[in-house]
Amino acid sequence: MDMEEWEQRHKEAFYDAKEALPYLDGMFVAYNSNIDAIRHLDEEALTKLIGFFDEAEIQERVAVYPREIADPLDFIARLLIAMREGKAAEVPTYTEEIHTWLKEHLGFDYARMGGQAGIISNLLARLDLKKVVAYIPWLSAEQAEYFEDNGNILHPKVENGEVVLKPPSEAFNPGMGSKVNWIFEFSKDLKVSCAGSTFKVPRDNRLIISSRPKWIRLDMDRAIYDQLETIFPVDGAMLSGYQMIKEEYEDGSTYKDYVEHSVEVINKLKSLNPDLRIHVELTSIQNRVIRKAILTEIVARHVHSLGLDTVEVANALNVLGYEELSYSVIRKGENGIMSLYQGAVQLMKDLKLERVHVHSLGFYICILAKGHPLTLKEHRDALLFSSVLAASRALHGKIEDLNEAETGLDVPVSAQGLEDLETFKLYCTGRKLCSPDEFEYGYIYGSDHDAILIPSKVVDRPKATVGIGDTISAGAFAAMLARMKQIKSGK
């Protein structure tokens, strides 16, 4: 694969997407947003943090591998695990204490929009979409301040029983508290010493402490559900946040009730626009019961498109019963990309999806069901567009507008990403999945699926990494839908 060729393809794709985006009438985005309290950890801060604990106790807690943060020891243990493994992780906490402890013992550098739906709403608004309808069941006054205010983000609000669309700053629930997550970002090569062992962080990464206040319900207000037609016209829906669902609630309800409501919302959206396409963006979900329910009860058969990173592919395969394949994706050995590809194909088949878009550092894979509209080139262009957005977000820590996003074109395509794809070429041509020429274009024609592979742009020292995956998925999904609308309009 020729680097210069891919740089040129990124350029053409960016300008084509910019031309197509105005054809979109709008996008519906729900459910989760929060305030991300972001803290970059350098050696000094880490040493200070570890100093608050008995190192032997840390080591013991690391061995427990806590699935939620109940006290500061759980936190430091999961932090060291994330640093050592280099795997993106999100761990829930159900107590306010850890927030207080972190504020008192560490503090954060800056706060900004968090949550897949929050990040995606702001990104789409910055891409100048005509309309972004955001729906956050727990929209507080403080949270509303984190939405872009360039006028194209609207939020449903019930006024005297009638649902109207208002800017988030006029649609919040006055009594609602705010959901604050802590994000610990740490850079490649950070040296970590604890309890006699020393290691270096293998890649830029982050740990998310996801706060789960008691009042959180992943559900849609009944009046808004009943008058859902008020959000239209929209061409697509990007849904996420299902990880908020708990197995059991104090009132006796269980996750099954919230899964059922989530499917009702999806079915109603589709009934209001049969052409509507629905994308679900995943995150790491610690609870395996909930992870499996999201995949097999909400995503499977109801949703068209799924966005996820490599760790989430492995975690999904694991709960779907493909332990071996899951392990080989995580192990990232020389067969890593093959297992990732096979795993993504398996997800498309098992979950009856049209599209599975996997983002990895340095390349993206998009699996497509046969008969999916658009040519492989048009799907490839959507991915290339999102690669430019990712570069711009990694460079600046945000996307101001399409002009700033264009600076992403100056970021080089990842040489490592190209190399990873080259190792995959032999597998594909060997199995007659594509000719060597087709591979050079990044096109794969399987017997029961097609696929796109692109090397992506990678920023050497990113400002922050959290939210880049959400940006990639949203940029590609929006560009794909925009191209479909542009063709429909006769262009």
Ligand X SMILES: Nc1ncnc2c1ncn2[C@@H]1O[C@H](COP(=O)(O)OP(=O)(O)O)[C@@H](O)[C@H]1O
For binding to ligand X (CB under 6 A), which residues are involved?
88, 204, 283, 309, 359-361, 390-391, 394, 458-459, 462, 465-470, 472
Residues in the annotated binding site: 281, 312, 470
SS (H, E, C) 220-232: CCHHHHHCHHHHC
How far is C-alpha 20 from the geometric centre of its chain's CA atoms? 23
CB of 279 to ligand F6P, least distance (A): 14
CB of 355 to Mg ion, least distance (A): 16
- CA nearest 385: which of 369, 367, 399, 368? 399
- CA nearest 413: which of 437, 395, 388? 388
468 makes contact, choosing from ligand F6P, Mg ion, ligand X, none, with CB < 5 to 8 Å by partner type, with ligand X
CB 307 within 8 A of CB 280: yes
CB of 240 to ligand F6P, least distance (A): 8
CB of 284 to ligand X, least distance (A): 8
Residue 243 or residue 326: which is nearer to ligand F6P going by CB? 243
Binds Mg ion by CB under 5 A, chosen from 79, 469, 474, 485: 469
Question: Which residue's Cβ has the minimum distance to ligand F6P?
Answer: 114
Q: Which burial class, exposed, middle or buried, applies to 297 when counting CB atoms under 10 A from its CB (0-12, 13-18, 19+)?
A: middle
- CA nearest 400: which of 185, 150, 152, 169? 150
CA distance 253 to 86: 37
Q: What is the helix (H) or strand (E) element at residue 191, kind and residue range?
A: strand 191-194
Roughly what angle, to the nearest 10 degrees, separates helices 72-85 and 55-64?
A: 70
Residue 153 or residue 433: which is nearer to ligand F6P going by CB? 153
Give, in degrees to the nearest 5, the angle at Cα 347 between 343 and 348: 120
Residues in the annotated binding site for Mg(2+): 281, 312, 470
- CA nearest 309: which of 65, 1, 86, 480? 86
243 makes contact, choosing from Mg ion, ligand F6P, ligand X, none, with CB < 5 to 8 Å by partner type, with ligand F6P
CB of 274 to ligand F6P, least distance (A): 30
Encoding tokens for residue 463? 């400002």
Residue 421 or residue 466: which is nearer to ligand X going by CB? 466
Catalytic position from the list 74, 235, 381, 470: 470
Residue 167 or residue 467: which is nearer to ligand F6P going by CB? 467
Verify whether residue 448 is a known catalytic residue: no
Stretch that binds Mg ion, among 134-142, 171-179, 230-238, 468-476 (CB under 5 A): 468-476
359 makes contact, choosing from Mg ion, ligand F6P, ligand X, none, with CB < 5 to 8 Å by partner type, with ligand X
Contact letters (x/-) for Mg ion, 426-465, by CB under 5 A?
Answer: ----------------------------------------
Query: What are residue 186's DSSP bridge partners?
Result: 41, 205
List residues with catalytic annotation: 470
Q: Would you tell me which residues interact with Mg ion (CB under 5 A)?
A: 469
